Amino acid sequence: MATISMFFGILIRMYLGKKDHNPPHIHAYFQNSKATFGIKNGEKVQGKLPKDKEKLVSAWIILHKEELLANWELAQNGELPFKIDPLK
């Protein structure tokens, strides 16, 4: 799993080389919490983060949707995804 961004204590990660690992999504980690978010809509799919952190992750996904989808393609082919700017 590659870390592609980090902001406000939240780690954003993506699995590599899992062609059947759809739909496109990211994994977000904050302290002892983790959740999965869809890239296409920014909505939480499963897991739990504090509400304020969920909102930050969803906003970040919407801002970086195209980059995330490009990273998804790289990761599905077993290639290392590139880093994406954090929220500031």
**21/73: higher pLDDT:** 73
Distance CA 34, CA 25 (A): 13
Name the pTM for this structure: 0.92
* The predicted structure's pLDDT at residue 63: 97
Cα of 49 vs its chain's centroid, Å = 13
Distance CA 15, CA 84 (A): 15
* The predicted structure's pLDDT at residue 20: 63
Structure tokens at 85: 């700017």
- Under the banding of pLDDT at 50, 70 and 90, the label for residue 59 is very high
Distance CA 47, CA 35 (A): 4
Quote the DSSP letter at residue 41: T
Tell whether the model's pLDDT for residue 19 goes beyond 70: no
* The predicted structure's pLDDT at residue 25: 95
